[in-house]
Chain A
Amino acid sequence: MLAPANAQNQAFKPPRTADGKPNLNGIWQAMNTANWDIQGHAAQAGQVVSLGATGAEPPGIGIVEGGEIPYLPAAAQKKKENYANRLKLDPEVKCYLPGVPRATYMPYPFQIVQSGKFILISYEYDGAVRTIYMDNPGPAPVDSWMGWSAGHWEGDTLVVDVTGLNDQTWFDRAGDFHSDALHVVERYTLAAPNVLNYEATIEDPQVFSKPWKISMPLYKHLEKNAQLLEFKCVEFVEELIYGHLRKQPSK
């Protein structure tokens, strides 16, 4: 999938910021269904009967290179259990921060804001945000949901080394998971004025037998006056999380 893009990339000269770096500024979004399942999957009925077709799970060809995720045997079993209980266990259902790389391919836009000193990515979903430090910030001081991002340029590719991720996030709604040993290396390369190639190497020796890769193009929002809007979903899950604790229980 990447070969044509790389060939295209050699001819394409990315626009540059005032300090000469490829200009990644803009509002981007994946155009795939990886958030439902990062592996190839057929469409299927949703988990909530009352949602009907609006809750059905859309099909997708997958973003995992080679198609298979190299789970260790025990982890493969846990993924199955996660899948069976996904409505209850998926952290997205509770409006928890999505982690990396999942934030990239959720069905919401995100904005890259690039300055000379840092690069910041603001995600519409849950107002998630991460700062990519370009000045070698040292090791992660503590585990967090969005991790600790150290960036550098390799030619015209922004390479981001993400560590310090906790074990609470998933890769998708299908129960694909990781431990707190997760290490993600992301590569962002402008392939055309409005196309940003995204590639991530996933490494987690507690869950996977070897590193594996995902890749996809991201597309720029070209709508006049495109902007991120607020999606503070915390308020939307209060009934789900606290409803049973009301004085007059809702159900």
Chain B
Amino acid sequence: MRLRALAALGAFLAPVWLLGQQSLPVTAKAAASTATAKNWTPPRTADGQPDLEGVWTNSTLTPLERPAELAGKEFLTAQEAADYVKRLLQQVSSDRRDGGPQVDVGRSYNEFWRDRGNDLVADRRTSLISDPPDGRVPPLTPEAQKRVEATRAYMRDHATDGPEGRTFAERCIAWGTAGPPMLPGPYNNDVQILQSSDHVVILNEMIHDARVIPLDGRPHVGPEIREWMGDSRAHWEGSTLVVDTTNFSSEYSFRGSDANLQLTERFTRVSPDVIQYEFTVYDPTAFTKPWTARVPLNKTADRVYEYACHEGNYALTDILAGARAAEKRK
């Protein structure tokens, strides 16, 4: 949809973890889902490929990184998870009625667009990051740290000087969670997968980004060609679709990555309604070690609609025009 509804796109979940006392090992539910994956044979397309087609959503309450309060605890028990979900939904909801009429209406409006899901990932892992085992993005290299800090400082000091002071999402150039790699974002977490005999298309609803990926084993484009979404190549490893992406633009940065980013994404349909999506980030000049996250993609009956981001981008005009008007008033 071409609605740019959220006032604060950077307002991602900041959960406080409040847990019961008991601490149990890997749960029965997690074990059961593994068994499903082993016994279930995915359907095939007319070409005989494992069938990943359809519309999928990656909405989840599980955070990318394990919160500090849960250091050392990889999984929640069923009871812990239920308590957590209940508290979290209450806490993150902006549909609270305690801010006065104007604030409440604003919050409630934003809440309408939110698409954060109502549950944790099925195995109740406490972070989407599965490796390193601490569930955290590895530290940046000193060089990357410097680069990221410089960008932050620029955006802080020049926030309304021109478009460059705003995020790429606000400028409708690249959406941080549409990827690659794909992560749950504030809203419209739908992705449509479509397969022909020699290509696979991964269409993310956010800012209508489609990757049309060759399956024929051809090499990547030359190093002089750099792209916001990178250059993707796919192949099958058994029933798993493996997508390798390189040639990222130096302007693109995924949590501190640089132009050397090499991304591997793995799509495995583990049940009629779930694709296990796993991505590994290699970027030795940005991260001190590789890291991996697992994000279940759940089947949805929804369709992917057009998100004409740039065409409806009144926000960027208004932010800059507002800043100029404020300067005149001084």
Contact surface of A with B, Cβ cutoff 8 Å: 17-19, 25, 95-97, 111, 113-118, 120, 122, 127-129, 131, 133, 137, 141-142, 144-146, 168, 225, 227-230, 232, 234-235, 238, 241-242, 245-248
Contact = CB atoms under 8 A, between A and B. Distances in A.
B192 A131 contact: yes
A163 B158 CA distance: 43
A115 B208 contact: no
B95 interface: no
A145 B320 contact: no
B196 A113 contact: yes
Contacts of A137: 303
B171 interface: yes
B38 interface: no
Contact of A19 (B46, B311, B324): B46
Contacts of A115: 45, 53, 194-196
Interface residues of B, number: 52
Given A96-B308, A248-B161, 11 more contacts: A95-B310, A97-B306, A115-B53, A115-B196, A116-B45, A117-B53, A131-B203, A133-B303, A235-B173, A245-B321, A247-B161
Contacts of A247: 158, 160-162, 323-324, 327
The B interface, classified by DSSP as helix, strand, loop or mixed, is: loop
Nearest 9 CB-CB pairings of A with B: A245-B320, A18-B46, A19-B46, A144-B306, A230-B227, A247-B161, A246-B162, A129-B210, A238-B163
B246 to A, nearest CB: 14
Contact of A96 (B48, B173, B198, B311): B311
Contacts of A227: 212, 214, 221
A225 B233 CA distance: 12
Kindly name the residue among A19, A228, A246 whose own CB sees the greatest number of chain B CB atoms within 10 A.
Answer: A246
Contact of B228 (A141, A225, A230): A230
A19 B171 CA distance: 42
Contacts of A129: 203, 208, 210
Contacts of A127: 208-210
A128 B311 CA distance: 12
Nearest to A168: B311
